[in-house]
Amino acid sequence: MNDTRLTTLVEHTYSRADFAYRIGVLKEFLSFMFFTAHESHVTKEVVDAFEKEKHPVEDVAFLRSLPGTFFEGLTQESFNEELTHLSEAAQKLPTLSLTIPIMLDDENRAAVWAWVRKELGHDVMLDISSDTDVSVGCQIVWHDQLHDFGFDHYLAVNREKVEESIARVVPRAPLFGHL
Amino acid sequence: MITSSIATILSVPLGLLLFLVFIALAVLAGVVIQFGARLRYLASPVYDRIVKEAEEKAKEIMLDAQREARTVKEHAAAEAEKAFADRSKVDEEMRKEQSKHIEMLTAHAQELLNKQTVTISQLSETMASDFSQQARAAGKALEDETAEMKKTIAAETDHMKETFAKMAVKVDEDYHELVAQTRKKMEEELDNEVNSAREAVKAYRIERISLLNKEIVGLVEDTARLALRRSLSLDQHRDIIIAALEEAKQQGLFSKNV
């Protein structure tokens, strides 16, 4: 397996889901190139021809972003096996699972991904899911351990302040009243 | 009339006549005895003495009569045997003898009866007199006894009144003391109950208020949870997520040893 291909793909893909999706795009493209276009090398024309097959713009943009060296050595007989190796290698990459209150848009997701790659490593993959109970912040699963940094966590840390704030707004009933 | 009676008597067989005399004497004795018994029952021991004397006299009379009757009977039997041998002559003689004897018996019985009548009348007068005296004495004794009993009863009544009065005072004192003790005990019990109720209410209020405060905090938390999720923008969520990741990193969560 060519580690450069893995590095290239990881560099442009931050989640396993995206990684798996892009492996599928590559498989489809290479199948088109070898069996439909009857080409043996990736060229601009092949990519244009693939684009004309009405594939999503993002997929074509991904293909165009890959360097020419990515496809070197891939043959009609070997590309399937190579893509399978890439998928298996991706499974072994370290993964940070985040559970956030609502799904972020692409821009905000990219910001979180950029922090992860910068602070944790360039090969760390990111899995993002949503759960409304988190409310704010996130829950982190790292090396199969769950760490809560959501609303309950902040509430536990600031419980006394929260209760004081509540007491200021809702005065407590006297204990001994008229007795 | 007496002559006719005697004639009648003489016509009756000798044995039967003797038997009748005997019966009469027995009745007389019985009457005397019964009279004596009645007197004894009704009167005092003095009467017993008099009656006893009368009884003894009656007994003597009866014994005399019995002896006489036996004598007469024996004689009559002998005469009957004699007469049985020579009937006609003897009958006549017997009859004469019988008449003679009957007359004798009659006279004797009459005499005896007269004697007893006199004795009895004497006894009756004596007994009546004694009875009157005894009755008067008994009446006086009864009056004295009644007066004495009245005095005693009056004294006892006064004593009982005094005793009851003392008892009433004691009962009244005891009653007031019981009322005071009962009141005191009731007040103590009520105080205890009131204090227990107050403590229970106080504990209940503390518990309920604590529960209520927790519920208020929980409610505010749930509201904040909902509000934060909806009110924050995507950029704010992103910033909070990155801040959480920073905090995790500072806690050493992403170190290689974890």
Cα angle B252, B256, B258; round to 5: 60
- ipTM comes to 0.81
In a domain, A152, yes or no: yes
B237/A173 CB distance under 8 A: no
d(CA B25, CA B31): 10
Q: Which chain A residues in 79-118 lie under 8 Å from chain B, judged by CB atoms? A: 98, 100-102, 104-105, 108, 111-112, 115-116
A175/B202 CB distance under 8 A: yes
* Length of chain B (residues): 258
Say yes or no: A41 and A17 in one domain. yes
Say yes or no: A87 and A102 in one domain. no
Say yes or no: A157 and A128 in one domain. yes
Among residues A91, A106, A133, the one where a domain terminates is: A91
Among residues A91, A115, A134, the one where a domain terminates is: A91
In a domain, A172, yes or no: no
**Three-class SS of residue A148?**
strand
CB-neighbour burial class of residue A34 (10 A; exposed 0-12, middle 13-18, buried 19+): middle
Per-residue pLDDT of chain B (258 residues; tens, 9 = 90+): 444 555 554 555 676 777 777 776 766 666 656 655 554 555 456 657 766 877 787 778 778 877 876 887 788 778 767 756 666 676 677 778 777 877 787 787 778 777 777 777 777 777 778 878 887 887 788 888 888 888 988 898 899 889 989 988 998 999 999 999 999 999 999 999 999 999 999 999 989 988 888 888 788 888 888 888 788 899 999 999 999 999 999 999 888 544
In a domain, A118, yes or no: yes
In a domain, A170, yes or no: no
The model's pTM is: 0.49
Among residues A43, A64, A91, the one where a domain terminates is: A91
Q: Beta partners for A145?
A: A142
* Residue A70 contacts B, CB cutoff 8 Å: no
A119/B245 CB distance under 8 A: yes
Show Cβ contacts of residue B14 under 8 Å, excluding neighbours closer than 6 positions.
B72, B76, B79, B80, B98, B101, B102
Which chain B residue has its CA at the smallest distance from A144's CA?
Answer: B258
Say yes or no: A114 and A156 in one domain. yes
Number of domains in chain A: 2
**Three-class SS of residue A67?**
coil
**Three-class SS of residue B166?**
helix
Say yes or no: A130 and A159 in one domain. yes
Say yes or no: A74 and A107 in one domain. no
- What domain range is A158 assigned to? 95-164
Residue appearing with tokens 């229970």: B200
* Residue B221 contacts A, CB cutoff 8 Å: yes
Say yes or no: A8 and A86 in one domain. yes
> What does DSSP assign to residue B253?
T
